[in-house]
Each structure stands twice: as structure tokens, then as C-alpha cells.
Amino acid sequence: MTPLISKPSLLPGMGASVNPNGDGVTFRVWVLYADQVYVADQPDLWKLDPYCRQTTGHIDLRNGSPRYHNCVIINPDVFKWDKKQFEMPPLNELIIYELHLGTFINNGQLARRFLDTISKLDYLVELGINAIEIMPCTEFVTNTSMGYNPSLLFAIENHYGEERSVQRFVNEANRRGIAVIFDVVYNHLGPDDLSECFWRFDGWHKDGYGGIYFYQDNRAETDFGATRLDYGRYEVRQILHDNAMMWLHEYHADGLRLDSTINIRRSRQGDLPDGWTLMQWINKDKQSNRITIAEDLEDNEWLTKQIDEGGAGFNFQWDIGFYKAIRNNVVLAEDQSRSMFSISDILTKRYNNDAFQRVIYTESHDEVTEHFGVKLGRMPEKIWPGNANSWPSRKRSTLAAAILFTAPGVPMIFQGQEFLECGTWTDNADINLNAMLDWTKVQKNNGIFQLYRDLIRYRRNQEKNTKGLMGQHINIFHVNDEKKIIAYHRWMQGGKGDDVIVVANFSTQSFDSYTIGFPSLGTWELRFDSDSKKYSDDFNNKGYTTTASEGEYHGNVGLGSYSLIILSQ
């Protein structure tokens, strides 16, 4: 007999559980309208288990064959984790790297993407990354995907590997000091074929909707064609909660990023209170050393408020406003169109008076791909389409990166950003070979890679002289919208090795000597200059160490075109 149901989660119950003494398997499934349920054989309505952890088939839909065959029973307790427990980096030190397994690296074999990615962990350590955010990696029906069209919740996408390879990946990342955050999709299922599992699971449905797992009215409808789950049903809430706990416990995930939380808490018809309390439940039950991130994009401070205050309890939420402000000020062709006041506003933004409740970025999977026929593209591509390696694209995209790593917040970069990947990113590596990261660019654009590495090193205070970049505090003390220059003071407690001055030039004009104020007199050492020739031969080395004099502590600085400098004592 072929097993229909596979291993679930930690809670009593659902799916296929290997008995504690190993002498068998217990099967459980939730149905409302079925008279009988069979583990195997050939029933009239054949469905995969909603808790299915691995499938036996991964058939190409283009030849008309079914994608899945059956489920495989998994015992998650077999893997031997390192005895030394991983310690999450302090939240104000996190540097997140968003990664898509399907296009990150391919060593020529399917079902090995997690294992292949292990080979690049040392590279990420060298870059300075201490957290990886894996885009959704559970089963999808299409041949390639960003992962936001899930067909199963618990089964790892067969192209990427299976449970043991995921556990090994997390173990190897943790061993190197890297936290692993999994991107999960609870706001919908599909929109591609769901008929093998969730859709009309026990045969029942109403008014053309999807049956017991989904709303049976227009609350099921989303703006992107997928179907919203019914958060009002206890059993649906349970499976989503079980799924979150699976990642955190069985895979030792260090965090979760919940996709499109706005579509969990709200439908076209209004608020969904059951969706809000579902998110609270998940956040309440995660361990204190685990993190959760909301991708809501609505600047709703209640998402990152404490649960006992009525908030959803997330640690962070994505701040798309940061991306938009930076994009608008580096992509525009004319300097006079740039606004230093908008830069000032986005630098001082925070949620609940906490700068580190927001994840900030200048590239993400959403901002570099194609949406509904509109090609968005990476930042260097936006600056000069078709000329991403040009001087303007390199100067202004690295200026954007320098603002990112000197701003209050948790910085995130998208795979390949650090070596100037260009064009419009796509997940479809089967058709477009250019979708795979071009790793030769690490050497071709090694100066840009060094620039990102240096920025991360100073952001994490690894030289012990830029501690203020990890602090809550910022004071925008100089805004010159005419010359397109902005300067700000960052600090944690203040003092030598802590106080940091950042000066950014958003114009093509360079300055040999530009006067600004400093928080204290004395020598201010140049720590970083994005205009340094070590990053590119056609940069100009305009920055230098300076001295703040008596009186109002004025000093002179050198600024290259479209450049940023970091100074500290």
C-alpha cells in the first residue's frame, strides 16, 4: 500500500506521525463531509495529505502528466544537530541577505539547491552577512517560481531538496554564525492548480468556492487571483500555526517572514479579525530567541506592537517607503529633481519610536522583477537602462547602498546586489539562463563587492570605531537642497568610537572642501569613502581625515560626485 499521508508537526496529531517507540505510524486528517477516509488504496477522491512533508513525484506539467504521486512519511527527529546552540545576533546588528534558491546557484543537479547553497555560505560570511532570508521553498505547481504560489504547506519543493538537506543547510549556516529566516505564505494558496490537495478537499464546496480550507464567500478573493484561507475555522488556523512551529522547531529556523500580512488581516470587504489573532497566536508561541518579520507595506505600527498592547507581535516589518525615497532620488536623471528633505524624512522614520522595527532595503525580489508586464529591474538598471555598469549607475547605486547601511534600521540586500547584478530579475531559470546569478561578476566587479563588504564591516562596528551605526539615534544636522548634500550624526551612547558623522552628496558636482559642523572638536578620521579608487579606477578619492576647530566645531570635508563618507573619532 502506498501512504497517502505524511509526517506533520509537533502538535498532537495531524498528518502522519511516527510513533515514539518507532513501531508504527499514526494517521490523522481533518474532514467535514467525507463518510470514510483511507490511508491508501484507490478511493473515489484521491487527495494528498495537507500535512504532506515530501512527495514522490515532480512531473513536468508541460507534457500533461500529474505533478505529484504520493506522500512520503518523514521522521524529523533523525537529523543530528550540532550540540552547541546557535545564538541569534543582536537585532541591531542584523544584516539580511534575501536569497532565491532557484536562481542563486546551480551545480547541474536537481533536488540539490539547499546543498548547493551551502557551498556559498563562506562567501556570505566574507561579505559580512549574518542572516539569510530564504524565499518560499515549499511545493509549487509551476516548473519555476518565486515561491509565492504554494500548493502544499509542509512539503519542501522537490527541485530544492528534502527535509534532511534543509536541516543540514540550517545547521551549516548556524555553524558559521548566520541566522536562517524562512519566508512563509499564509495569506493565500495557489493560484495555480490546488486540486491534488486543498481545493475541495473532502468533495464539499459552496457557490463555486474552494471548500473547507477557504472562505465560501467573496472574502476568499484576492487582488492577485489566488484564494484566501478561512482564518475563522479553527482547523485552518491550526494547520497554519502548526506550519510555523514546524519551521521553528523541526528545521531550527531562526525566524519567519510572513508574506503580505495585509492580506491576512484584511480583505476587499474590510478587516479580518481572525487573521489578526492568527498572527498574534504564531508570534505568541515562537521562542523569545526567534524573530518574525511582517511584509505588510502599509506602515501599520500595530504590527510591531506587543501582543499584550493589542499588537500583532512582530519584531520587524518591511519599510517600502525607504526603498521608494532612495529609488526616487538616485534614479532621476537631473540633479535638481532630487530632494534632500525626502531623504531626511526617511532617515528619521521609525515604528513605535524604535528604529530597529523596520527592515530597509534598496533592492528586494518585488522591486527587481517583472510585475504584470512592467519590468522593474535592479537599481543600476533603473538608473541607466541597458548600461548598468556605467559610471552613473555604479556611483548612484553604491550611494544608495551607502545610505542603506548608515541609516537606522535593519538593512537587507537582494542576492547579487553586492556585485552589481543588472537587468530585470526573473525566477524562470529553466527558460532564461540569465536568471541564474552570474558568479563571475564577483571578480569582474570586485571593487563593488569590496565596497559592500566595507560598508557592512562598519555597519557592524567590526573595526570598533563606528558603534553609532548600530544605535537608535540620528540627528540630521545639515540639509543643503540646493547643492544636494545631507549630513547626519549617528550614535548609541556617544563619545569616541561611537559618534559617527555621515555626509552624502547627491549631485554630480564634487567638492574639495565643504564645511559642516561636528559634535565635538578634534580629529575626525575618514573610515569610508564610496568615491575611493579601490572600488573603481574611475572614482576620485575625494574624502579625507579632517579636524573640527574650536567654536562651533566646524570642519571641512571632501566629497566626490554621488558619494558618501563616514567619519569618526
Domain boundaries defined on the chain: 91-194+231-460, 467-568
Decide: 33 and 78 in contact? Cβ < 8 Å.
no
**Distance from C-alpha of 423 to C-alpha of 52, rounded to nearest angstrom:** 37
Count Cβ atoms below 10 Å from residue 207 Cβ, excluding itself: 8
For the stretch 273-295, pLDDT in tens is 999 999 999 999 999 999 999 99
Kindly report the CATH number that applies to the domain delimited by 91-194+231-460: 3.20.20.80
Q: Can you tell me which residue has the cell 547601511? A: 405
**What pLDDT score does 108 carry?**
72
State residue 325's pLDDT score.
Answer: 98
Q: What is the C-alpha to C-alpha distance for residues 553 and 549, in angstroms, rounded to an integer?
A: 5
Q: How far is CA 457 from CA 133, 295, 400, 497, in A?
A: 20, 27, 17, 14
- The whole-number pLDDT of residue 141 equals 85
Grid cell 531626511 — which residue?
344
Q: Which residues contact 164 (CB under 8 A, 6 or more apart)?
A: 78, 79
Strand, coil or helix: what is 73? coil
Please tell me the CATH superfamily of domain 467-568, with its number.
Golgi alpha-mannosidase II (2.60.40.1180)
Question: In this predicted structure, what is the pLDDT of residue 64?
Answer: 47
Which residue has 494558496 as its cell numbers?
A: 189
In which element (H, E) is residue 567 found?
strand 563-568
**What is the pLDDT at residue 407?**
98
In this structure, is the dihedral angle defined by the CA atoms of residues 420, 422, 427 and 429, taken in order, positive or negative? Answer: negative
Neighbours of 50 (CB within 10 A): 23
Q: Is 285 a catalytic residue?
A: no
The Cβ of residue 28 has, within 10 Å, a number of other Cβ atoms equal to: 15
pLDDT at position 7 is 38
Q: At 493, list the grid cell.
A: 551612547
Q: Which amino acid is at 347?
A: L
Any idea which residue has 510513533 for its cell? 19
**What does each C-alpha distance from 359 to 94, 98, 250, 276, 322 come to in angstroms?**
10, 12, 26, 21, 9
- Cell numbers at 32, concatenated: 467535514
Distance separating alpha carbons of residues 501 and 519, to the nearest angstrom? 9
370: helix, strand or coil: strand
Same fold: 91-194+231-460 with 467-568: no
Which of the following is catalytic: 295, 366, 427, 531?
Answer: 295
CA–CA separation, 504 and 399 (whole Å): 8
Q: Annotated catalytic residue: which of 98, 259, 418, 499?
A: 259
Distances (CA, A) of 308 to 237, 293, 508: 20, 18, 50
- Phi and psi angles of residue 415, each rounded to the nearest 5 degrees, phi first: -45, 130
Q: What angle do CA 565, 341, 316 make, to 5 degrees?
A: 75
Q: In the prediction, which pLDDT does 66 show?
A: 52
221 given a catalytic annotation: no
Instruction: For strands 473-480 and 485-491, give the pairing.
Output: antiparallel
Residue ranges for the chain with pLDDT beneath 70: 1-12, 41-42, 57-69, 110, 372-373, 375, 429-434
Q: What are 245's three cell numbers? A: 512551529
Position 434 scores a pLDDT of 65
